[in-house]
Structure 1
Amino acid sequence: MLIPYSALSQLPSDTVDNLIREYLLRQVEDGSFDAMSDDALTAAITKCRQSLAKGELVVEYSEDDESVAIRRCEDVVYTDPNDE
């Protein structure tokens, strides 16, 4: 299930930032974000927020494992509930 961007604005900013940080860290397998400056991380978080607002990134809730993750829009598999 996709969580609308408008719903994210109702969450505390720190919660959204932590979700974005988790997404960014998953994108860098070698862990280079650990060595990045705070300014670079802040810039990356801002860019992700903009991508979420534009719909390039989406927040997906997995009912199977009760988790939330940010994904690129093209990576989300849409299923038709009528197919079940």
Structure 2
Amino acid sequence: MLVPFDALQSLPQATLDNLIHEYLLSQIEDGSFVELDSDTMQQATAKCMMMLKKKELYVEYSEDDESIAIRSREEISRRTPISE
């Protein structure tokens, strides 16, 4: 299930920040980022938030294993068509 951006804005800011940071750390592990400092993390967090708003990234909740993660539009559309 995709979580709408409007619903994300009702989350506590710390919860949303932690979700974004977890996503960004996964990007470091796969080589998308080469370094991590507080300035880089702040910039990446702002960019991620903008990408969520523009529907380039989505928050997906899996009812099967009760997990939540940020996924790219391409990653999700490979599995299931995204309806606007």
Work out whether the TM-score is over 0.5: yes
Report the residue type matching 2:54 in the other structure.
Answer: K
* Secondary structure, counterpart of 2:61 in structure 1: strand
- C-alpha change, 1:39 and 1:4, in structure 2 (3 Å) is same
Larger radius of gyration: 1
RMSD between superposed Cα atoms in Å: 2.0
Deviation digits for residues 8-36 of structure 1, max 9, x if unmatched? Answer: 000011111100000011111179x7x62
Structure 2 stretches lacking a partner, 5+ long? none
1:58-73 alignment runs, 5 A limit: 58-73=58-73
> Paired residue for 1:75?
75
Q: In structure 1, the residue corresponding to 2:65 is in which secondary structure?
A: coil
Identity of aligned residues (%): 55
Partner of 2:14: 14
Indicate the SS of the match to 1:28. helix
Q: Which amino acid aligns with 2:37?
A: S
- In the alignment, what sits opposite 1:26? 26
Q: TM-score, normalised by structure 1?
A: 0.83
Runs (4+) off by over 6 Å: none
| CA distances 1:30-82 after superposition (whole Å, capped 9, x unpaired) | 79x7x622111011000000000000000000011100000001111227xxx
